[in-house]
Chains A and B, each alone.
Chain A
């Protein structure tokens, strides 16, 4: 395997940026954003350089490693701090640094009025570094560091405006729910070490064939738990909506393009485990399917533009997870959808940010309307993203999403039919809620508050949007042209046999488009023909109410985990005070009490004392009497 000394720069540069920005404090306020962007950009440059190097090598020689130092070594538990850049990670590296840099640029302007912009850039850089570590680590433990690192960055960024208690709570919620997922990753690593004896990708891959399916299934399920946490999949999805509390660039970068896709990366990266553990794989598919519907349904009812997009993200990642769960045949498509999604969803988020920028940070779509005229560029870029997510040919989503739907149908048997139908249905709902977003935001009549003065965003903001829009348009075509991505990634995955074709690709596309058309039509009928109330109507169906409440996920969590947890805590606190410490104090009191009691023996009467002596003597005599009897 090729080694390289320059991989570390990918991570080191943004990390250095973060460190400088954080340590320098207010002194760096003037140039902090520039440094942050430069660091991210240079990392992107290093990524491009690595790609060019990689392209110049044969398939087998493409993966590059760099061992930095021996990190942990105890007994047989040996983990090096080492990086691995292969065909899979390079995709992520470029996505992260590329989209990341664009968002840095965007943020320069977006955050220009914020007192703490420097800190924001520091966090962004920290995130880039952590995310790169996540995708570059050569073992699960290294990945874990990045995994929690992005969690931290996400926490910091969601809570960037933590002076608002709700935002602070949102960040905490995100972190805690992520930690539940992280726990899964810990379990996976522990099981892997206990059964296989190593935690590196390479090592486990080598041992897969003589490891029991049971163990692999356990590892797989635990990895899936991790993925659900980080990628906001069912049942750990609840944090993503709240995470929109963060500045919009954050939502674009972290909660749309990169971090939330880490679950997909994890499952794809662990393909050798899932391939050998069908049960785990099946679970992956199920989770993906549930989430894609779940997210889509939530999306239909949200009035907050960012939350609607977040729900969409959840749903789209459901697609990816589902794709990744389909095995060797699906990994590449999952990644492809991941990449295209990275473009169009980031683009749309930035668009949403741009809208908010123009609308005094208003997020309620019911207070938008008719913005097309005031924000033409935003409308254009957002619209391209819209088309992409709908899967309208030839936009990016068409290539990636249809592939997943097709693969789902072709996964065989009843499973195939169910999955295919779910994905199709999802596509339809997606079309509905995205159209709703478009209509509410850009068309119709204006429903703004009086002080709103919508205007187009400055260059630094729309330029990244434009670049991403280009990506939304072209990436699908570019990546699927001649199965470019599939072939690029193929060496990493197991060969897959031919599948029975349930439906021809063209049929699938047709069905998908039909569903999309239905979705669009319904949305059109519902929102374009009628007046949209600027305040969300209350007299809606139960389903809408439930959907508005994120399908009761928070209620559920509160009722099942939070409240009992809080009660348990209170009970324990009281128990500790009353029972455990009480027992200790009780012993003390008992001693004191018996002391006071025995004190009574000392009555002050000399005759009592004499009686005590006499009784003592009698007892002695009695003992003798017994002994000699």
Chain B
């Protein structure tokens, strides 16, 4: 047996390679650069690699290849779109991560210890978050372009591990933050065990670990489908966990609340894109012909997810938890795109993911701005009268909320419309109806926040709005512009998506 050297298409892999390179530079910076210079250097390196990666993605937008990395990676239209979305969302998230007020000064110090206080006084910063972010983004880029189960698993871990770590790095309420890291980690590992177990059965079923191989096995048949079904079920547990679908959602409210807000923003938005990207690919390509087996399952989960997320969100008193439940509800809406299993469904999902992701980052960016002397204020009762004190911030937040609620002239509406129409087209009427009804419930709590901000008199408790740093401003402004623009005139983006969104096999 001769060994033939592997051939990698570096152009197609370049976005990921750039990020990994950037991350390595970041690690080196940590090791060798003086403390004072680290923050700015890390930020530049991170942003630079992200932008460069985005540029590379743009350059390869018309490429279609399964051979980029010996069949492990597939680059096609959806891949480009998803990677671009992840990169854009990451860039605006990094602007938030650059906020030094959010991260602990020294993660190893005990909360409340002398050491911590000293670290705070000296202005120490955990600049390691930048390379960690880059690793996570690289994993996210890889996740939706993976073309076999190994790569998928590795990518899953690669995007998860940095997030587990970052969740624990909050500056305030550190015990809660560490707790969120622990919960995220334990449950994440638990779900990835299911994922792996499912992968084993898929391998058993198809004698192949590539998506194409699984697809061929599904098409070809032979034997019965027990292994396939077990495989799909357990693999789905892992994926549904990542997107936060009921009943695999339980981590997300706690983690969203405990993690530093920029990390929450990043993981809420970018992880969702990556996870749904992977999900779309595997369901649309490998499992497409076994549609009968998983559509009912996903339909039920989607409906429960929407309704549950919307209902529980009503009862929330904390803005981050509320957004977490809202994101659960949105996971339900997005699942309809997977269920649709048609080209409109794919296009709609990609549009929705992008629109939702950008709005989410924008929303959390606003959350970082509302503070009192002890840091962020996430208790909704203390958001009362925000519209009076800071009309622009409140208006922007209202804009994001309206987009989440799917009010016309915001991107959320176009997203919902397109995803529901795709689902309807594929005959999944029950999901559409459930989606519509839970949208009403969801609207209720979004509106409640608007009422709090605009129609309730402020309480004088020192809650104020930080004058946004220029980076945060960029995030907010960009997000709101995208949210409105995609609501008013989405045609160019939809066209772009439409021309690219076809999975190759």
Contacts and interface: CB of A to CB of B under 8 A. Distances in A.
Contacts of B314: 591-592, 595
Interface stretch (B107-115, B221-229, B381-389): B221-229
B347 to A, nearest CB: 29
Given A613-B187, A617-B194, A595 B315 contact: yes
Interface in B28-70: none
Interface string B188-206: 0011001000000000000
Interface stretch (A211-219, A249-257, A416-424, A602-610): A602-610
A612 B226 CA distance: 24
B444 interface: yes
A591 B311 contact: yes
Interface in B416-465: 441, 444
B82 to A, nearest CB: 26
B229 A606 contact: no
A371 B252 CA distance: 99
A546 interface: no
Contact of A613 (B250, B315, B444): B250
Nearest to A593: B315
B293 interface: yes
Given A594-B311, A612-B247, A616-B247, A624 B226 contact: yes
Contacts of A621: 230, 233
Interface in A580-629: 588, 591-592, 594-596, 598-599, 601-602, 604, 606, 608-610, 612-613, 615-617, 620-621, 623-624, 627-628
B488 interface: no
Interface in B166-194: 182-183, 186-187, 190-191, 194
Q: Which of B224, B225, B441 has the most C-beta atoms of chain A within 10 angstroms of its own C-beta?
A: B441
Given A606-B187, A620-B236, A624-B233, A595 B250 contact: no
A601 B250 contact: yes
A183 to B, nearest CB: 42
Contacts of B226: 624, 628
Interface in B199-253: 224-226, 229-230, 233-234, 236-237, 241, 247-248, 250-251, 253
A598 B183 CA distance: 20
A616 B186 contact: no
A595 B307 CA distance: 10
B252 to A, nearest CB: 10
Contacts of A616: 237, 247-248
A491 B287 CA distance: 94
Given A601-B250, A609-B251, A624 B229 contact: yes
Interface in B226-284: 226, 229-230, 233-234, 236-237, 241, 247-248, 250-251, 253-254
Contacts of B191: 613
Contact of A610 (B190, B296, B441, B444): B190
B230 A624 contact: yes
B313 A623 contact: no
Contact of B311 (A598, A602, A606): A598
Chain A contact-residue range equals 20 to 34
A575 B259 CA distance: 49
Nearest to A598: B312
Interface in B310-362: 311-316
A194 to B, nearest CB: 43
B504 interface: no
A616 B249 CA distance: 11
B308 interface: yes
Nearest to B241: A613
A602 B316 CA distance: 12
Given A591-B311, A610-B190, A617 B444 contact: no
B297 interface: yes
Contacts of B253: 602
B247 A606 contact: no
A610 B186 contact: yes
Contacts of B186: 606, 610
A599 B308 CA distance: 9
A608 B250 contact: yes
A614 to B, nearest CB: 8
Contact of B183 (A592, A609, A620): A609
A594 B233 CA distance: 29
A612 B250 contact: yes
B230 A615 contact: no
B237 A613 contact: yes
Given A610-B187, A613-B191, A595 B182 contact: no
A354 to B, nearest CB: 66
Interface string B107-150: 00000000000000000000000000000000000000000000
B3 to A, nearest CB: 41
Nearest to B230: A624
Contacts of B236: 620
Nearest to B251: A609
A627 B295 CA distance: 13
A619 to B, nearest CB: 8
Contacts of A623: 233, 296-297
Interface in A152-189: none
A594 B226 CA distance: 37
Nearest to A613: B248
A602 B313 contact: no
Contacts of B308: 598
A595 B312 contact: yes
Contacts of A595: 311-315
Contacts of A594: 311
A613 B253 CA distance: 15
Contacts of B229: 624, 627-628
A592 B187 contact: no
A591 B444 contact: yes
A361 B287 CA distance: 99
Nearest to B245: A616
A577 to B, nearest CB: 21
A583 to B, nearest CB: 15
A286 B253 CA distance: 81
B247 A615 contact: yes
B315 A617 contact: no
A591 B241 CA distance: 25
Contacts of B297: 620, 623
Given A610-B186, A613-B187, A628-B224, A602 B233 contact: no
A615 B250 CA distance: 13
B250 A609 contact: yes
Nearest to B250: A609
Interface in A124-178: none
Contacts of A609: 183, 187, 250-251
A609 B254 CA distance: 11
Given A592-B314, A612-B247, A617 B182 contact: no
A120 to B, nearest CB: 51
A606 B183 contact: yes
Given A613-B237, A616-B237, A620-B237, A599 B312 contact: yes
Contacts of B296: 623
B312 A628 contact: no
Most A-side CB within 10 Å, residue of B226, B308, B315:
B315
A591 B226 CA distance: 39
Contacts of A588: 444
Contacts of A591: 311, 314, 441, 444
A608 B251 CA distance: 10
B395 to A, nearest CB: 26
27 contacts: A591-B311, A591-B314, A591-B444, A592-B314, A595-B313, A595-B314, A598-B315, A601-B250, A602-B250, A602-B253, A602-B312, A606-B183, A609-B187, A610-B186, A612-B247, A613-B191, A613-B247, A620-B233, A621-B233, A623-B233, A623-B296, A623-B297, A624-B226, A624-B229, A627-B293, A628-B226, A628-B229
The 7 closest A-B pairs by CB, nearest first: A609-B250, A595-B315, A595-B314, A616-B247, A620-B233, A595-B311, A596-B315
Given A592-B314, A592-B315, A612-B247, 4 more contacts: A610-B187, A613-B247, A617-B234, A617-B237
